Amino acid sequence: MAASPLFAQSKKAEKDKAALLAAVEKDHEKYAEIATKIWGYAELGYQEEKSSALLKNTLKEAGFAIEEGVAEIPTAFIASYGSGKPVIAILGEFDALPGVSQDSIPVRQVIEDKKAGHACGHHLFGAASASAAVNIKNWLQNSGNQGTIRFYGTPAEEGGAGKVYMVRAGLFDDVDAALHWHPSASNGANPSSSLANKSAKFRFHGIASHAAGAPERGRSALDGVEAMNMMVNMMREHVDEKSRIHYVITRGGEAPNVVPAFAEVYYYMRHPQIQEVKNIWERVVKAAEGAALGTGTKLEYEVIHGLYNLMPNEILAKVMYDNLVKVGGVNYNDNEIAFAEKISESFGDKKVPLSRAAEIREFKTGGSGGGSTDVGDISWVVPTAGMVSATWVPGTSAHSWQAVAAGGMSIGKKGMLVAAKTLTLTAYDLFTQPLTIEKATRELKDKVGVDFQYEALLGDRKPPLDYRN
């Protein structure tokens, strides 16, 4: 008796996936070296010239057509291969964070000539996503399957909202599904949400004067900042408990004996729902205006970024989860165990079993993280799925020196390999299972509503290319 078509298709998929996993494994050292170079560059948002160029050149050499400087962002790009539908996007980040310089050793040690570090693991993010895109490109080329694979080089995720400008520019309008991942201390692919987020820099202008000899002639810009902060801090009692409002005074004056003529405070406002972020924003602006009025100073403010919350897609998430289970987690060798144990000592009483790195978290729906991401805007216009892999020692917090350290050695590279394999297999499924894309698209439309029209939270401002200066 002849095998059924469904059985034959399943056997073919099994064979194809085995070949893809072998190909990703074979190329791993190449992409691990790319990640190491980007880790060393540690370039801040919109300044990732070397990191962006390295990824662009890698993809160009692999046969992708490169569109540079998209969405008015010099370090943003799109690498494309193939033609027709479906169009599958794989996202790649590569910006670092300021103030977390760290060597790839398990004790705190700043690298003296560096002022930034990859404390969120975006060097691994970009490299693993490039690996997946190239291996899917090779499969498309060799198999003759129709479709388009795209790598989106997305700068300045950390507070710069690079993806938002790319969505606003219509660069995802023809995309059928988007895949992404993120470094973490565990492995999972749950369809969870995130916090919507809006940020701005509030700048107060006063009048300088001698603080002791003629204080009556001065109007303190710092008083304006402090009055604003006081009112916002009192407001915390009267906002939804899921809200998050945080700030840092970026300029407070030059000398104690000079009444500050200029002061600046940088605010983030977050909530799981976009509308509540808008409400908080309006109240914070009123507090700033009241502070300026009360201190006799002048106010101006600049929106830096605005992000939607993630719109989870359960259809795509389940496909990605099944592939993550197939790939498996991260297993440490003896040297990595010693490294991880030393890192764990810095956690105090918050140690987590190292075995968590090898485990895959149970698939659950309805969760929400405490952070924000500009992937959120993409997820409202394109069915989107993401995953995390254990690139850091279990128990590690993002944006920490411990994350930088693990991301610079083999533990980070092993987690990156898990992500590259999972993204590759998931993209393969989407190219070969058109019904999955149809269901995922229907789910997204049902969730956002028939009347939804995308409008960026950051308005019509241009990309803040100097926000890290």
Cα-based distances in Å from 389 to 17, 44, 338 = 20, 23, 20
Which DSSP string do the residues of 344-392 spell out, in sequence order?
Answer: HHTTGGG---GGGGG-BPPP-SS-B-SS--THHHHHTTS-EEEEEEE-S
CA distance 32 to 127: 7
* Per-residue confidence (pLDDT) for residue 1, from 0 to 100: 45
Mean pLDDT score across all residues of the chain: 96
Summarised one tens digit per residue, pLDDT across range 208-217 is 999 999 999 9
Write down the pTM of the prediction: 0.92
Q: Which residues pair with 178 in a beta bridge?
A: 89, 384
For position 369, what pLDDT does the model report? 75
pLDDT for position 9:
59
Residue 251 structure tokens? 């300029």
Between CA 464 and CA 461 the distance in angstroms is 8
| Percent of the chain topping pLDDT 70 | 98
- pLDDT per position as a tens digit, 340-393: 999 999 998 888 999 999 999 999 998 777 789 999 999 999 999 999 999 999
User: Which residue reads 């408990």 in tokens?
Assistant: 241
DSSP one-letter code for 75: T
What angle do helix axes 314-327 and 434-448 make, rounded to 10 degrees?
130
DSSP 393-419: -TTPPTTSHHHHHHHTSHHHHHHHHHH
Residue ranges of domains in the chain, CATH in brackets: 5-193+309-448 (3.40.630.10), 196-307 (3.30.70.360)
* Consecutive H or E run containing 203: strand 196-205
Question: How much is the pLDDT for 8?
Answer: 55
Longest Cα–Cα distance in the chain = 102
The pLDDT tens digits for 19-38 are 999 999 999 999 999 999 99
Residue with the two structure tokens 């394999």: 421
Q: What is the pLDDT of residue 67?
A: 98
Judge contact between 214 and 250, C-beta under 8 A.
no
Q: Kindly report whether the peptide bond that precedes residue 464 is cis, defined as omega within 30 degrees of 0.
A: no
Q: Which residues of the chain have pLDDT under 50?
A: 1-3, 6
Residue 187 DSSP label: B
Q: Could you tell me the CA-to-CA distances from 166 to 71, 133, 154, 284, 454 in Å, in that order?
A: 5, 19, 8, 28, 13
